């Protein structure tokens, strides 16, 4: 039962938050003051950017991209976008959803991305990280120390 809950809850929250943001964006008429054709073009560009990151990430996960919290592979993926961030799929999905809210010109939808969708992704990612820590141990901890959660680490050199 615990494993089922650990798999089911993060995924359910994630999907429901995404659908909720889309419904709000489509139905609530509080619009960003951008001309509709401009919003659609800009939104499409942002969606394509996000989905490109999702596809790039999925290609590096190979057969393990199935939406589960538990890792399916016996090797830790650290190539491609995983060189920079631990959760590039979630980053890409967030970017894509922001693009959709821009295309709909929805203030509330954009707010919903940050209030509902992003926290559900963070919860899901934290659940994944627990499973990855269990499976990969020190290898995961070393990888975690050199990569950002959803945004790349910004390293600044300090001259002394």
62: left (phi over 0), alpha (psi -120 to 50) or beta: left
Please answer whether residues 148 and 84 qualify as being in contact, where contact means their C-beta atoms are separated by less than 8 angstroms: yes
To the question of pTM greater than 0.75 for the whole model, the response is yes
Distance in angstroms (rounded) separating the CA atoms of residues 31 and 102? 9
Q: What's the CATH fold of domain 2-146? A: 1.20.120
Query: Domain limits of the chain?
Result: 2-146
Digits of tens for pLDDT over the chain (160 positions)?
A: 444 445 677 778 878 888 888 888 888 878 888 999 999 999 999 999 999 999 999 888 876 555 556 666 778 889 999 999 999 999 999 999 999 999 999 999 999 999 999 999 999 899 889 988 988 999 999 999 999 999 987 654 444 4
61 contacts: CB under 8 Å, gap ≥ 6: 73, 77, 89
pLDDT at 159: 43
């Amino acid at each position: 039962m615990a494993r089922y809950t650990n798999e089911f809850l993060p995924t359910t929250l994630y999907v429901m938050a995404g659908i909720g943001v889309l419904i709000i964006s489509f139905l609530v008429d509080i619009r960003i003051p951008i001309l509709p054709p401009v919003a659609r073009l800009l939104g499409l560009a942002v969606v394509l950017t996000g989905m490109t990151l999702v596809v790039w990430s999925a290609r590096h996960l190979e057969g393990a991209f199935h939406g589960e919290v538990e890792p399916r592979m016996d090797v830790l993926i650290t190539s491609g976008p995983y060189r920079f961030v631990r959760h590039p799929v979630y980053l890409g999905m967030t970017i894509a959803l922001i693009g959709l809210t821009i295309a709909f010109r929805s203030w509330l939808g954009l707010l919903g991305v940050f209030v509902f969708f992003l926290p559900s992704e963070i919860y899901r990612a934290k659940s994944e990280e627990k499973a990855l820590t269990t499976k990969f141990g020190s290898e995961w901890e070393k990888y975690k120390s050199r990569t950002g959660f959803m945004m790349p680490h910004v390293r600044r050199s300090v001259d002394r």
